[in-house]
Amino acid sequence: MDWLEEELRKIKEQHLFRKRKLREGLKDFCSNDYLALRDHPEVKEEVIKAVKDYGLGSGASALVSGYTIHHKTLEEKLACFKEVPACLLFGSGYLANVGTIPVLVSEGDLILSDQLNHASIIDACRLSKAKVLVFPHLDYHHAQELLRENRRHYRRCLIVSDSVFSMDGDVAHLPTLLRLAQEYDCLLFLDEAHATGILGQRGKGIFEEFNLRWQENVILMGTLSKAVGSYGAFVCGSERIIDYLVNRARSFIFSTSLPPAICAGAKKALEIIEREPWRVQRVKDLAHKIYKELSKMGFSVKFHNTPILPILLYSEEKAISLSETLFEKGVFLQAIRYPTVPKGEARLRLTASLRYTEEDLEFLYATLKNRPIFP
Ligand SMILES: Cc1ncc(COP(=O)(O)O)c(C=O)c1O
């Protein structure tokens, strides 16, 4: 097993070694629980009720006997929330992407993918066996050039993009993507993992952000694990697309469905987002406030009116060193390094969350101010 030692040594040498860290006893400033819903009293109550009725696991995949009224009502709620005809639940965002994209395109088809798309999209594209052309991040002019040169050589074409990019917090330009999809007869797949509960005034996602309506050639994927505070994921689209996924998406067919209580909790969280849209605005205002404070301290931070606030350190070594220093002082702020972001673009991925109190923020600022090395 010498090769294992050797491989691990190489990872460590590049400052890319990862290990799990317990978060208990620390103040977590990097979760995706943007709207503080994961332990909302009403959510917990719903979950407890469902556990009492159904127990823990669903017992089987959805096509066997793992489909309950909690799954069905959550799918209906999500379709309604996203203003799209139909919805299908998946075990996680990763499973939704690797299950859906290879159903939409395969050998002989073309995928256009933004350079900063999430790893699960990259893996899904590889799995599909379609020809994948990657365009530079948000460079739609380049994407158009690729379509102009290549589209006619392929049967179907799928344009794929995150709605909110998970490590940068910036937002895809939906009107341009729709125009390209229309002009070149493409399907458009949008990953709304960080857009659901965040984009638009009511957190419905990228269509609300741009004041546009869903169109039939668009497939929306989203997760329940971020602003919704639960676990799992969903794909929304036309009835026909959803019927097709039910019959073809392998990560849906051959995987146990979500626990009913997880669905019940997620449904309650969506109801809270609808009832209290102030949460959606408040978390973005908070992100702006944190951004201004950190910029004043001299950090290189990005802000795009979403709760994701990457503090750029560039060097992997600096990012890991600062993260570890903060950790020792009680601040949990993970270093994000290659391959999650490109080499030389290491960062601390700070997020805004309604979980933070004023004291938490003062603690964060004071700890960052007293950092021993300036990045
Ligand atoms: C853009 C994006 N897509 C997909 C996923 C995967 O979602 P999940 O954590 O539910 O597997 C994530 C989460 O890390 C993400 O950020």
Predicted local confidence at residue 375, as pLDDT: 45
Q: For the residues 55-74, what does the mean pLDDT come to?
A: 98
Q: Which domain holds residue 297?
A: 277-369
* Residue 241: per-residue pLDDT: 98
157 with 235, same domain: the answer is yes
Q: How far is CA 369 from CA 26, 122, 293, 322, 326, in A?
A: 18, 37, 11, 12, 11
- Residue at 24 is within a domain: no
Residue 363's CATH number: 3.90.1150.10
Q: Which residue among 32, 120, 189 is best mutated to probe the pocket of ligand 1, counting the most ligand atoms within 8 A of its Cβ? A: 120
Q: How confident is the model at residue 370 (pLDDT cuts 50, 70, 90)?
A: confident
Give yes or no: residues 188 and 295 share one domain.
no
Per residue in 200-225, pLDDT (tens digit) is 999 999 999 999 999 999 999 999 99
5 CA → ligand 1 middle, Å: 30
Is 104 part of any domain? Answer: yes
Domain contains 78: yes
Does the CB atom of residue 93 touch ligand 1 within 6 A?
A: yes
| Residue 33 domain flag | no
Identify whether 305 is part of a domain. yes
Q: What is the pLDDT of residues 293-336, one digit of tens each?
A: 999 999 999 999 999 999 999 999 999 999 999 999 999 999 99
Asked whether residue 26 is domain-assigned, the answer is no
In a domain, 124, yes or no: yes
For residues 206 and 264, give the distance between their C-alpha atoms in angstroms, rounded to a whole number: 25
* Residue at a domain's end among 275, 309, 344: 275
In terms of domains, do 208 and 120 share one? yes
Same domain assignment for residues 95 and 232: yes
Q: Into how many domains does the chain fold? A: 2
Which residue, of 275, 297, 332, is where some domain finishes? Answer: 275
**pTM of the entire predicted model:** 0.96
**pLDDT over 70 (residue 374):** no
Last residue of a domain, one of 275, 294, 319: 275
Ligand 1 neighbour 128 (Cβ under 6 A): no
In a domain, 25, yes or no: no
Look at residue 1 in the predicted model and tell me its pLDDT. Answer: 81
Cα of 106 from ligand 1 centre, angstroms: 22
Work out the average pLDDT over 345-364. 97
Indicate the average pLDDT of the chain.
96
Query: So what's the pLDDT on residue 119?
Result: 97
pLDDT at 373 exceeding the cut of 60: no
Whose tokens are 């950090």? That residue is 299
Q: Using a 6 Å cutoff on CB, does residue 77 contact ligand 1?
A: no
Assess whether pLDDT exceeds 80 at residue 355.
yes
- Assess whether the C-beta atom of 257 lies below 6 angstroms from ligand 1: no
CA distance 310 to 337: 12
Same structural domain for residues 167 and 256?
Answer: yes
User: Same domain for 302 and 256?
Assistant: no
Judgement on whether residues 184 and 316 belong to the same structural domain of the protein:
no
114-146 pLDDT tens trace: 999 999 999 999 999 999 999 999 999 999 999
Based on the domain organization, do 284 and 271 belong to the same domain? Answer: no
In the chain, the percentage of residues whose pLDDT exceeds 90 is 97
Q: Phi/psi of residue 301, each to 5°?
A: -115, 150
Question: Tell me, what's the pLDDT at 366?
Answer: 96
The mean pLDDT value for 352-370 works out to: 96
Instruction: For residue 67, give both structure tokens.
Output: 């489909």
Q: Point out the ligand 1 atom lying closest to the alpha carbon of residue 94.
A: 11
Question: Which residue minimizes the CA distance to atom 10 of ligand 1?
Answer: 93
Q: How far apart are CA 185 and CA 59, in angstroms?
A: 41
Task: Give residue-wise pLDDT tens across range 15-32.
Answer: 889 999 999 999 999 999
Q: Is residue 45 scored above 70 in pLDDT?
A: yes
Question: How remote is the CA of residue 193 from the centroid of ligand 1, in Å?
Answer: 6
- Shared domain check, 364 and 335: yes
Mean pLDDT of 62-75: 98
Task: Specify the pLDDT at position 277.
Answer: 98
CATH code for the domain of 81: 3.40.640.10
Tell me, yes or no, whether 142 and 208 share the same domain: yes
pLDDT at residue 289 is higher than 90: yes
Distance (angstroms) between ligand 1 centre and the Cα of 315 equals: 25
pLDDT of residue 284: 98
- Pair 128, 247 in one domain: yes
Domain identity same for 90 and 237: yes
Q: From the CB of 191, is ligand 1 less than 6 Å away? A: yes
* pLDDT for 15: 87
State how far the alpha carbon of 165 is from the alpha carbons of 10, 121, 306, 322, in Å: 29, 12, 10, 23
For residues 277 and 199, give the distance between their C-alpha atoms in angstroms, rounded to a whole number: 11
Cβ atoms within 10 Å, residue 319: 26
